[in-house]
């Protein structure tokens, strides 16, 4: 169940929003031994929700979303889904690159009927442990688009330009 996204989607006081962030950070701390180290490091990084840090995904823009299905085996029958995302950072001085190996499920939605083109700015995201004991990454964009990716891990890289 979402902690941050449910609160931020409604009219809430600043105290309620601050409490949601405290609850989310407490949740991440409790999940440290259950999440892969790189996913936990990304989710709990001090810069992740620091809007003055250039690595913070807030207000970044989608450059690419790549979904691959590499295969192996004699008949290429062994398959796995991988997702890679490249975002232009909010300060336009670098790229945030996220990769998701071992994707079990994903959904992407773009709000129909909007006059805005694209996904909009990355508003907020949340990393949780899924019911399948995998990493669940939920992302909300400014035009109402929402992505949910369930994978084995999340790997993050910052590329300064």
Structure tokens at 70: 């590499």
Phi, psi of 30 (to 5 degrees): -70, -20
Exposure string of 104-125, with b = 16+ CB inside 10 Å and e = fewer, is bebeeebeeeeeeeebbbbbbb
For the chain, 161 residues long, give each residue's pLDDT as a single digit of tens. Answer: 788 887 776 688 889 999 999 999 999 999 999 999 999 999 999 999 999 999 999 999 999 999 999 988 899 888 999 999 999 999 999 999 999 999 999 999 887 666 667 889 999 999 999 999 999 999 999 888 999 999 999 999 999 99
HSE-up (13 A, CA, CB side) for residue 161? 11
Residue 139 and residue 107: Cα distance in Å, rounded?
11
Residue 30 and residue 142: Cα distance in Å, rounded?
29
Helix, strand and coil in the chain, % to nearest 5: 20, 40, 45
Residue 68 and residue 87: Cα distance in Å, rounded?
18
- pTM, two decimals, is 0.93
By the 8 A CB rule, do 139 and 96 touch?
no
Helix (H, G, I), strand (E, B) or coil at 79: strand
């Amino acid at each position: 169940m979402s902690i941050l996204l449910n609160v931020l989607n409604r009219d809430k006081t600043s105290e309620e929003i601050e409490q949601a962030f405290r609850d989310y950070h407490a949740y991440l701390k409790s999940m440290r031994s259950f999440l892969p180290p790189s996913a936990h490091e990304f989710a709990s990084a001090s810069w992740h929700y620091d809007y003055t840090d250039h690595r913070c995904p807030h207000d970044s823009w989608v450059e690419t979303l790549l979904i691959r299905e590499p295969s192996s085996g004699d008949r290429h029958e062994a398959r796995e889904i991988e997702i890679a995302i490249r975002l232009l950072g909010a300060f336009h001085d670098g790229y945030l690159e996220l990769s998701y190996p071992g994707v079990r499920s994903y959904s992407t939605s773009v709000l129909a009927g909007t006059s805005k083109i694209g996904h909009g700015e990355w508003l907020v995201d949340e990393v949780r442990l899924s019911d399948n004991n995998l990493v669940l990454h939920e992302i909300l964009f400014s035009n109402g688009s929402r992505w949910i990716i369930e994978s084995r891990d999340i790997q993050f890289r910052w590329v300064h330009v």
